[in-house]
Amino acid sequence: MGYDSIRESPLMIVMKLHRWLMDDTRTTGKMIVGISTLFFIFILISGLTVYWPRKWKKSRLIIEHQKGRRRLMFDLHSVLGLYAALILLVCALTGLMWSFQWYRDIVSFIFDAEVKRGAPIWKIVRALHFGTYAGMFSKIVTFIAALIGTSLPVTGYWMYLKRKKLL
């Protein structure tokens, strides 16, 4: 590829955007990413709380594509969201380790583990966050869950706008 260093590679650019919003000081961007992640965790948990079926029926776990666009969007949002929620929650909770010292302190207390860089717990956190804990299979599952996570705002806003008759 001809990059002078790993710092100029496309993968590093994506990581800098993901972790620090391209903020060279790595402070403001890291704070914004961390706060956004906290909101994401709240939204995931509240979405699960709202959707959690009182009675488990097969129809709540499958996508009904023959019953119209409105039902399809609802199922894409709720069923796929339900399937991806645990993985997204794990990714979000582990991602907070990079953003906040207070969060690392809580994790250290809960797991009675040292959370300094290079400590054994970081191997677990990285594996869970990046989906590398079970090889290629878990990477693919984590990637699909992330794609579903990016679709949830789209389907959610679509349903909201349809309900308000703005679409």
Q: What is the pLDDT of residues 14-42, one digit of tens each?
A: 999 999 999 989 999 999 999 999 999 99
Confidence band, pLDDT 50/70/90 cuts, at residue 52: confident
Question: pLDDT tens digit string along 95-106?
Answer: 999 999 999 999
C-alpha dist (Å) from residue 65 to 26, 60, 76: 45, 13, 9
User: What is the value of pTM for the model shown?
Assistant: 0.87
The CA-based angle 25-100-90, given to 5 degrees, is 120
- Average pLDDT score over residue span 103-129: 90
- Region 44-50: mean pLDDT is 94
- Contacts for 137-141: CB closer than 8 Å, 24+ residues apart: 141/87
